Amino acid sequence: MTAADLILASIIEWAKNEEPIRALLLEGSRAANAPCDELADLDIDVFTRTYEPYTQDDRWLSSIGQVWVYSPDQYEWGNEIVPTRLVIFRDGVKVDFSFVGAHRLAALADTDDLDAGYRVLLDKDGEASKLRRPTFSKKPAPHRRKRTLCASSLSTGSRRTTSPNI
């Protein structure tokens, strides 16, 4: 197993024990219908009932692996803000966590937003089984990947790019 495979397995095990988390999807180059290089990051969509436990305290990251560096960020999806955590774990494994409202998973079943490819990693409620199979003919929807700076970053003029206080 590669270092990325070990981190991915650790993410799945961690999420199984987190009640607010309902599903995990892997997107990006590691879910595409083409080979990727060993430096490709893991793009993880975390569908959750609430994201506060994962954005107000980042100690959960140590449950997955040794954190070298991380940065909080966010993007807009429609009229919602999606918090993210860009994390580099030991051995240089980069993971981009996006905390998406669990209600969005059902809405994705009626779109081709995931047509670039995805892999279901965890599906506690069976909602991911309703998603369309990807044809791998599109790139990820741009509205889901538009990044914005966190409000706290704008007000302080700094970004947190250190290991969490673990």
Tokens of 82: 């999606």
Torsion angle, alpha carbons of 151, 153, 157, 159, to 10:
180
For residue 111, the model assigns a pLDDT of: 76
Confidence check: pLDDT of 97 > 50: yes
CA-to-CA dists, residue 108 to 29, 61, 68, 118, 160, angstroms: 19, 27, 33, 12, 32
For residue 69, the model assigns a pLDDT of: 95
Architecture of the CATH domain 3-151? 2-Layer Sandwich (3.30)
For residue 7, the model assigns a pLDDT of: 96
- Residue length of the chain: 166
Q: pLDDT digit string (tens) for 5-54?
A: 999 999 999 999 999 999 999 987 766 666 666 767 899 999 999 999 99
Domain assignments of the chain as residue spans, ordered by start: 3-151
More confident residue, 40 or 92: 92
The pTM score is 0.80
Q: Which residue, among 66, 42, 58, has the nearest Cα to 165 in the 3D structure?
A: 58
Q: How far apart are CA 45 and CA 77, in angstroms?
A: 13
Q: pLDDT digit string (tens) for 123-163?
A: 999 998 888 787 767 665 543 444 443 333 333 333 344 44
Q: pLDDT digit string (tens) for 54-80?
A: 999 999 999 999 999 999 999 888 888
Q: How far apart are CA 34 and CA 147, in angstroms?
A: 25
**Torsions phi, psi of 147, nearest 5?**
-90, 145
Question: Mapping DSSP to helix (H, G, I), strand (E, B) and coil, where does residue 124 land?
Answer: coil
